[in-house]
Structure 1
């Protein structure tokens, strides 16, 4: 079922190579463990059958007009912003990032030594893995996880160690119903553990970790001298009822945590490719060495534009007209609408506390026999393909975000709520073609 080569990043343009592409014979050994690609089959079938895409994690409408105008203004202001800027980050931007994250992290952030700007959060992750993990080091990944965590671990010859979020009830109705088992978690730490990767809020479940859960993680990191990479790109998309506690604010964690954010999610400009890391100087210095020997300098115009956007939002932070507030409220309404539509047709919904996504239990609509395609693919992949071929609805199978515990999410598909009202109306029409088995 799974094809190889031709990586298709989620949210990227669907111009994936042919699924029958063979492994390049001159490919370096370090990439031999990174060939498996979970998206190609879905993309190939989606191109043929999809008429409504509620799976891909990509905003399908632009952000506020002022955000777009800011970049055009910068591009027309002369030569200053059209040339190289500071490798570690455009000066105006790192100052804005420090001003934004200082209050969130409860400390004064030094913009010159405790912030690095990268080509999206993706490069922040990449430079962290490259600069911190040695061959044989273990990296703890909480399943389900953003799939690149595994490939980046293998690329640097680290050893992924998996610990799952498990449902605490038989049929979860909220992302809060998924939790780590403290004893199981502790058993994953060893003298070889180098990193813990935390995604908070989590993709694809939408879980926002509670303070007491983070305290358990923090205590283990401190006990075993482990660095925490906290991927918090959905930090502004935490819905009422949940609190986003940043693990770097817990006692003893600032000095061992890299917090990663991005303009892609904060300002809904995934194509601008601006991300950043905030953390103690010794860890940021490590990332900087990897960054200088790779991408080196990010685009000056987009950094200047994001700096101006952050400065404006700082002047109205937590106010109704703040972009972060408006985006969250807009997506909350869309989340609730998609939840209602999914429930009306017969899905059981796991309502997310944060992020773009929600998971729905599909087992009311198809038995394994109905969707079995003769492969060893997980049932959520099979249902996603069945749904595409028979009802022309594109979703994402969440077992793609797991390695050892795919069965825990095999009864779900992931939906994205960051869609126009027009597309949500279309989704409702297509959902109407689905009938629970007892109604057939």
Structure 2
């Protein structure tokens, strides 16, 4: 919608699972350099990326980011990099800021979020980091788009960063403690899904996990949802009939690509252990009845 309001047109290139191999990790989903290159025209203005990715949890590797950076430099494009999950990576996956690559600082807008950084999603406080020239123009748009700011929440976020600056790199740092805690919750959810015959796609980052539901047998003959994508119908059924809420993955893809991905649903594991235990009980009871 924002691109359309600015007179632009969004062109989509999805991440897809590698062909010819088992897809067990979000790292097994890749961006086709050939497909991305083919979409660039003289009218192209920018490339938008999201790493760590939602819903997959993919953390773009350096060579993948370099491919995107090379295209941005070659075609003089801006890059909008959504990095709100930058502190949540697992198993040695390293988050690299594309703005740190040669020739990218002056053409990249890096987006951050207090909600994801400090687990305060309701505050809706975020930021953009870029060169002075880009920020100058963003300020003009911002001051005519926002009536007032959540000043108290902004002050709290600033205090959070001041504290983390002193603790950064130590075991007491929240940026160290949060991924360590979520690592165990991620393992717990993955084990739960595997125990009922589902294959989780293990995320390298973020706090979501997707799984393939194409092997699941259930009655989705609900007249009110029969024209909706399969994953939308499935998650509504799962919520109504089993009391377990998930998200349809096809909602994260463009209309022309959504059909490719309507066999996946997304779970969230940034939950209390009691909630994860309850989800596990629901899935196991359902599996036993099947």
The bucket for the TM-score relative to the shorter chain is: over 0.9
Contact 1:358 1:416 in 2 (8 A): yes
Whole-Å separation in 1 of the counterparts to 2:5 and 2:248: 24
Considering Cα pairs closer than 8 Å and 6+ residues apart, tell me whether 1 or 2 has the greater RCO.
1
Whole-Å separation in 1 of the counterparts to 2:199 and 2:49: 27
Whole-Å separation in 2 of the counterparts to 1:283 and 1:298: 21
**1:289 Cα deviation after fit:** 0.4
Asked whether 1:364 is paired with 2:215, we answer yes
Aligned residue number for residue 260 of structure 2: 408
Whole-Å separation in 2 of the counterparts to 1:386 and 1:320: 43
Q: Which runs of 5+ in 2 are unaligned?
A: none
Aligned residue number for residue 336 of structure 1: 187
**1:171 Cα deviation after fit:** 4.4
**1:157 Cα deviation after fit:** 2.9
Whole-Å separation in 1 of the counterparts to 2:6 and 2:243: 39
Structure-to-structure mapping, 1:32-71, within 5 angstroms: none
Q: Which runs of 4+ in 1 moved over 6 A?
A: none
**What secondary structure does 1:315 align onto?**
helix
Aligned residue number for residue 353 of structure 1: 204
Structure-to-structure mapping, 1:144-159, within 5 angstroms: 151-159=1-9
Contact 1:365 1:434 in 2 (8 A): no
Aligned residue number for residue 301 of structure 1: 152
More divergent stretch after superposition (403-412 vs 297-306): 297-306
Contact 1:372 1:382 in 2 (8 A): no
Contact 1:391 1:433 in 2 (8 A): no
**1:332 Cα deviation after fit:** 1.0
TM-score between both structures, scaled by the size of structure 2: 0.94
TM-score between both structures, scaled by the size of structure 1: 0.63
Structure-to-structure mapping, 1:315-330, within 5 angstroms: 315-330=166-181
Q: Which runs of 5+ in 1 are unaligned?
A: 1-150
Distance 1:194 1:244, change over 3 A: same
Aligned residue number for residue 43 of structure 1: none
Whole-Å separation in 2 of the counterparts to 1:397 and 1:250: 34
Whole-Å separation in 1 of the counterparts to 2:217 and 2:137: 50
Aligned residue number for residue 310 of structure 1: 161
Whole-Å separation in 1 of the counterparts to 2:148 and 2:169: 32
**1:408 Cα deviation after fit:** 2.8
| RMSD over equivalenced CA pairs, Å | 1.6
Aligned residue number for residue 246 of structure 2: 395
Whole-Å separation in 2 of the counterparts to 1:244 and 1:294: 31
Whole-Å separation in 2 of the counterparts to 1:373 and 1:218: 46
For each residue in 1:158-208, what CA deviation from the matched residue of structure 2 results, as whole angstroms up to 9, or x when unmatched? 111011111004541100000011111100111111121111101001000
Larger Rg: 1
**What secondary structure does 2:287 align onto?**
coil
Aligned residue number for residue 114 of structure 1: none
**1:331 Cα deviation after fit:** 0.9
For each residue in 1:309-338, what CA deviation from the matched residue of structure 2 results, as whole angstroms up to 9, or x when unmatched? 111111111211101111111111111111
**1:296 Cα deviation after fit:** 5.2
